[in-house]
Amino acid sequence: MERVVTSGAATEVTLKPKDYKSDIKPVWCPGCGDFSVLAAITRALAALKVAPENVAVISGIGCSSRIPAYLDTYGFHGAHGRALPLATGLKISRPDLCVLVAGGDGDGFSIGGNHFLQVCRRNVDITYIVMDNQVYGMTKGQASPTTEPDWDRSKLTPHGTRINAFYPLVVALASGANFIARASSSDPNGAAKVIGEAIGHPGFSFVQVLSPCVTFRPEQRDWKKIVRPAPIEATTDPAAAARRLMTDDNFYLGVLYKGNRAPFEPDSAGQPSTEQELEEEFKV
Amino acid sequence: MNDPAISIALVGSGGSGVMTAGSLLLEAAGRAGLYGMMSRSSGPQIRGGEAAALLRISTRPVFCLGNRFDFLVAIDWANAERFAAEIPLDTESTIVGDDDIPDEFSASGATFKEVSFKRLAAQSAGLRPNMIALGLIGSAIGLPPGELEAVAKKLLDHKGKATVEASVSALSIGAATLDGLKTIDIKTESVAELWNISGNEAAGLGAVRGGVRFVAAYPITPATEMLEWLAPALEKIGGTLVQAEDELASVNQLIGASFGGTPSLTATSGPGLALMTESIGLAVASETPVVVVNVMRGGPSTGIPTKSEQSDLNIALYGLHGDAPHLVVAPLSVSDCLFSAQWAVHLAETLQTAAIVLSDQSLAQTRAVIPRPVDVFFGARRAVQTEAWEDYERYATVPGGVSPMALPGLTGCQYTADGLEHNTQGTPSSRVEDHARQLDKRRDKLALHDYGDHWAHIDGNGPMAIITWGSSLAPVEEAVETLAPEGIALRVIAPRLLMPVQPERMAAALEGVETALVVEQSHGGQFFHYIRAFYAPECELHSMARPGPLPIRPADVTHAIREQWRGS
């Protein structure tokens, strides 16, 4: 079978970003960064001219995981933390589709943490967009894996978590992700460009989008003043990328690593058999 | 009863080759036109632990172990006493092996024939004790030497001429040590095409016949052989098997693949099923067909991974949170693993829901020589939306409850499948009426389906019945056969479909029954309580519930029946 690198057959008609949006009103709070991420995804898809029916957006549970319903593509809003394996099964069995996974930091790095490691290793050709706001919003403001250890505003952890924050980009690199980038909801055009590039890159692509929770982390409104483009080109050297990510202050934006590992492909036999031929081995 | 079967136990430490010898003996018997089965029992060690191949060979199909063993052949006695309860011997039995027999076996009063397989093997290079034992027992039961040689050659051909010659030589050394041993001749009769297949392999073949082309799974005893058979088989027919990072991932990979239109299945055992339950509920709520084959082993927790028990019934029936109607199908024999898996795939696909197939270690890891299972064909497939439709509603309430599923790629029918409660379009909704509508839809599509005669195996008539399921059916049937000449007529009812329940069919099956015995291999009487809860039979109802790992034997059932109905 011929490998489909950029999957999701193109549209014949020109579509605008709004053509990828459904008419369902998001549950998000006014000012939530996720509105911009939704806009960025629709812009990226429109720019790639991929037909909406050839896109599947898979998510787990959380505020940002509600995103599939807001898109006029196929979607699956599944179980908490399990979007990545669901997307893996879909992409392996339907390589013709453009498969995106979208969700939050708790869904992806805590309850779904092991799947994040394994999906980076497996390198199936899917794109994972994490709207990182360092908090559990849907359950009203608990610490997430990316929360700073001294954040003490949650009733569950009134003295702070006092455990190290998780650095998803570093972990993604160490686990074998083939494309690693950071974007910000304060720059939807930049985010759209990065997401488009991630979709186009073969293998597993990971995009962290800094997306403030204005309700439970209002101080994150200031992120837009801190974020700035990374002053470098994307590297293909994992060692250089590791140094860069380990010294990163978590606010540099852009494509930070682009690997060239071949995407995962299932094994296939040269000579196809029939179901009847499979029975032969059982005959006495 | 005139039992034409011979039961043989081969024991030895792990790596001594008892499983190989047992498999070859079974295969040779099949080539000689005989039926038979071999179940495996082993300790928890990966290598070096004790192992037992438990065989029963007969002129007619056999599906369970007998009440006793005619032969116990020990290649060595290391830890063999741990199997004492599983290998009942008596004064008619024969023990073959070194003279350091554990007391547990010698106390049986069985005839002892001292043979040191290790010493015999030391005579010349390349001789293997297990092949000598195979030659001995094969000859003892009257198998043609040519058949034993043929199966040994087939197995060892790739290892070269010297190995083959050594094994042939070992077989004849074994056969020659037979002097003074009681032999039993089996008259062979010509039979139709025979298969030598395990329950795990049969379930794998059933899955493929049902149309499964995607499997994701995490290795677990005793389900792994099903996956090991499926991996190359799927590759050959254009499907895929993915080894997932855990059971949470494997079941979700199935949901993803099935959402894309590919019939999907996984195999696991109790601990894996427990991990999967949340997302099996997702498959139910999102109406995405998936099949989970659960090969039961002793529980709870890690339990007894290598031995059988029917104690995952409750989790399969009730393990999902919320009101989550789903299918539970239980194969009734090794060969029925094929049909049941195929049927479960068919049902899951046509009803767009999750199906759990409850196999168990004693079915799955038993190899049996059986008549070729009949081909079954189910015409109905998944209802798929084929045309763009402006008003497409994925979860529309339609007559019968099964709404056509649009597959990604179809223009104009984009929707989001959801584990959140939703309206008919799939949009999340917590409204009272949407919840009620979707609950009814998911219940009704299963309730309204006609499962036909496949729902249960029903045999016999009269006022006394045995209600049983899964691997317990075989000893029950044999007990019924034993009691028939004594004038005790028994009706046997064994549901293959455990969920959704079939009250009308069960009532018809129980018509005229005055007293019934519920037979199962669980400690808590899970099946008994299920029968009481859902079928509330008006007859007297008794329970024979015994935990694993000891298999239920025909004599246990005849004993229970005589106790229960003495004088009736």
Say if residue B235 is in the same domain as residue B330.
yes
pLDDT of the residue at B183: 67
Say if residue B16 is in the same domain as residue B107.
yes
Which domain, by its residues, includes B559? 453-564
B30 touches chain A (CB under 8 A): yes
Q: Which of B236, B248, B252 to mutate to test the interface with A (most CBs of A within 10 A)?
A: B252
Between CA A216 and CA B568 the distance in angstroms is 74
Count of Cβ atoms closer than 10 Å to residue B3 Cβ? 16
Q: Residue A229 burial by CB count (10 A; 0-12/13-18/19+): exposed, middle or buried?
A: exposed
Q: Average pLDDT over chain A, rounded to whole?
A: 94
What is the tens place of the pLDDT at every residue in A138-160?
999 999 999 999 999 999 999 99
CB B156 within 8 A of CB B165: no
pLDDT of the residue at B1: 40
Between CA B58 and CA B63 the distance in angstroms is 10
Say if residue B335 is in the same domain as residue B474.
no
Say if residue B343 is in the same domain as residue B269.
yes
Structural domain ending residue among the three candidates B371, B388, B420: B371
Q: Which residues on adjacent β-strands are paired with residue B112?
A: B95
User: Residues 350..369 of B with a Cβ closer than 8 Å to A: which?
Assistant: 369
Kind of pairing, strands B290-296 and B354-360? parallel
Nearest to B245 among A24, A58, A115 (CB): A115
Q: Mind telling me how many Å the CA of B465 is from chain A's nearest CA?
A: 36
Q: Which residues on adjacent β-strands are paired with residue B327?
A: B355
Structural domain ending residue among the three candidates B371, B405, B420: B371
Q: CATH code at B141? A: 3.40.920.10
Local confidence band at A267 (pLDDT 50, 70, 90 cut-offs): confident
Say if residue B142 is in the same domain as residue B35.
yes
Partner-chain contact A93 B214, CB within 8 Å: yes
pLDDT of the residue at A4: 37
Between CA B221 and CA B14 the distance in angstroms is 17
Q: Mind telling me how many Å the CA of B556 is from chain A's nearest CA?
A: 32
Partner-chain contact B255 A89, CB within 8 Å: yes
What is the tens place of the pLDDT at every residue in A35-62?
999 999 999 999 999 999 999 999 999 9
Structural domain ending residue among the three candidates B353, B371, B389: B371
Say if residue B128 is in the same domain as residue B226.
no
Give the residue among A248, A188, A119 at the shortest CA–CA distance from B244: A119
Residue B502: inside a domain: yes
Q: What is the mean pLDDT of residues A232-259?
A: 94
Residue B402: inside a domain: no
Residue B115: inside a domain: yes
Partner-chain contact A282 B201, CB within 8 Å: yes
ipTM: 0.96
A94 touches chain B (CB under 8 A): yes
Partner-chain contact B195 A284, CB within 8 Å: yes
Partner-chain contact A94 B261, CB within 8 Å: yes
User: Residues 426..445 of B with a Cβ closer than 8 Å to A: which?
Assistant: 426-428
Rounded to 10°, the helix B247-259/B270-286 angle is: 30
**Closest-CA residue of chain B to A266:** B240
Q: Mind telling me how many Å the CA of B409 is from chain A's nearest CA?
A: 5
Q: In chain B, how many domains are there?
A: 3
A276 touches chain B (CB under 8 A): no
Residue B422: inside a domain: no
CB A173 within 8 A of CB A116: no
User: Residues 31..90 of A with a Cβ closer than 8 Å to B: which?
Assistant: 51-58, 66, 68-69, 72-79, 81-82, 84-90
pLDDT of the residue at B493: 98
Find where tokens 């972990």 sit: A171
Domains of chain A (ranges plus CATH)?
Answer: 17-282 (3.40.50.970)
In whole angstroms, what separates CA B125 from the centre of its chain? 40
**Closest-CA residue of chain B to A83:** B252
Give the residue among A120, A121, A116, A146 at the shortest CA–CA distance from A133: A146
pLDDT of the residue at B3: 65
Say if residue B117 is in the same domain as residue B223.
no
A12 touches chain B (CB under 8 A): no
Residue B208: inside a domain: yes
Find where tokens 């949901």 sit: B255
Q: Mind telling me how many Å the CA of B32 is from chain A's nearest CA?
A: 9
Say if residue B226 is in the same domain as residue B359.
yes
Per residue of chain B (568 residues), give pLDDT as tens: 456 799 999 999 988 999 999 999 999 999 998 999 999 998 877 777 889 999 999 988 999 999 999 999 999 999 999 999 999 999 999 999 999 999 999 999 999 999 999 999 999 999 999 999 999 999 999 899 899 999 999 999 999 999 999 999 999 999 998 766 666 666 656 567 899 999 999 999 999 999 999 999 999 999 999 999 999 999 999 999 999 999 999 999 999 999 999 999 999 999 999 999 999 999 999 999 999 999 999 999 999 999 999 999 999 999 999 999 999 999 999 999 999 999 999 999 999 999 999 999 999 999 999 999 999 999 889 999 999 998 999 999 999 999 999 999 999 999 999 999 999 999 999 999 999 999 999 999 999 999 999 999 999 999 999 999 999 999 999 999 999 999 999 999 999 999 999 999 999 999 999 999 999 999 999 999 999 999 999 999 999 999 999 999 999 999 999 988 775 5
Say if residue B231 is in the same domain as residue B326.
yes
**Closest-CA residue of chain A to B235:** A268
Query: No. of H helices and E strands in chain B?
Result: 18, 21
Q: Which of B259, B292, B342, B415 to mutate to test the interface with A (most CBs of A within 10 A)?
A: B259
Identify all chain B residues contacting A93, using CB atoms and an 8 Å cutoff.
213-214, 240, 256-257, 260-262, 264
Give the residue among A84, A80, A93, A94 at the shortest CA–CA distance from A122: A84
B254 touches chain A (CB under 8 A): yes
Count of Cβ atoms closer than 10 Å to residue A26 Cβ? 15
Partner-chain contact B414 A58, CB within 8 Å: no
Nearest to A53 among B209, B261, B409 (CB): B409
Chains A and B: how many Cβ contacts under 8 Å? 184
Say if residue B222 is in the same domain as residue B171.
no
Classified as helix, coil or strand, B255 is helix
Partner-chain contact A278 B201, CB within 8 Å: no
Q: Kindly report the three-state secondary structure assignment for every residue of B262-295.
A: CCEEEEECHHHHHHHHHHHHHHHHHCCCEEEEEE
Q: CATH code at B513? A: 3.40.50.920
Give the residue among B98, B156, B92, B86 at the shortest CA–CA distance from B127: B156
Residue B441: inside a domain: no
pLDDT of the residue at A232: 84
What is the tens place of the pLDDT at every residue in A207-243?
999 999 999 999 999 999 999 999 888 899 999 999 9
Say if residue B265 is in the same domain as residue B305.
yes
Q: Which of A90, A124, A268 to mutate to test the interface with B (most CBs of B within 10 A)?
A: A90
Residue B412: inside a domain: no
Residue B185: inside a domain: no
Between CA B94 and CA B111 the distance in angstroms is 5
Say if residue B213 is in the same domain as residue B169.
no
Local confidence band at A11 (pLDDT 50, 70, 90 cut-offs): confident
**What are the backbone angles phi and psi of residue B11, rounded to the nearest 5°?**
-125, 160
Q: CATH code at B237? A: 3.40.50.970
Q: Residue B414 burial by CB count (10 A; 0-12/13-18/19+): exposed, middle or buried?
A: buried
Partner-chain contact B252 A82, CB within 8 Å: yes
Partner-chain contact A269 B235, CB within 8 Å: yes
**Closest-CA residue of chain B to A96:** B409
Identify all chain A residues contacting B250, using CB atoms and an 8 Å cutoff.
85
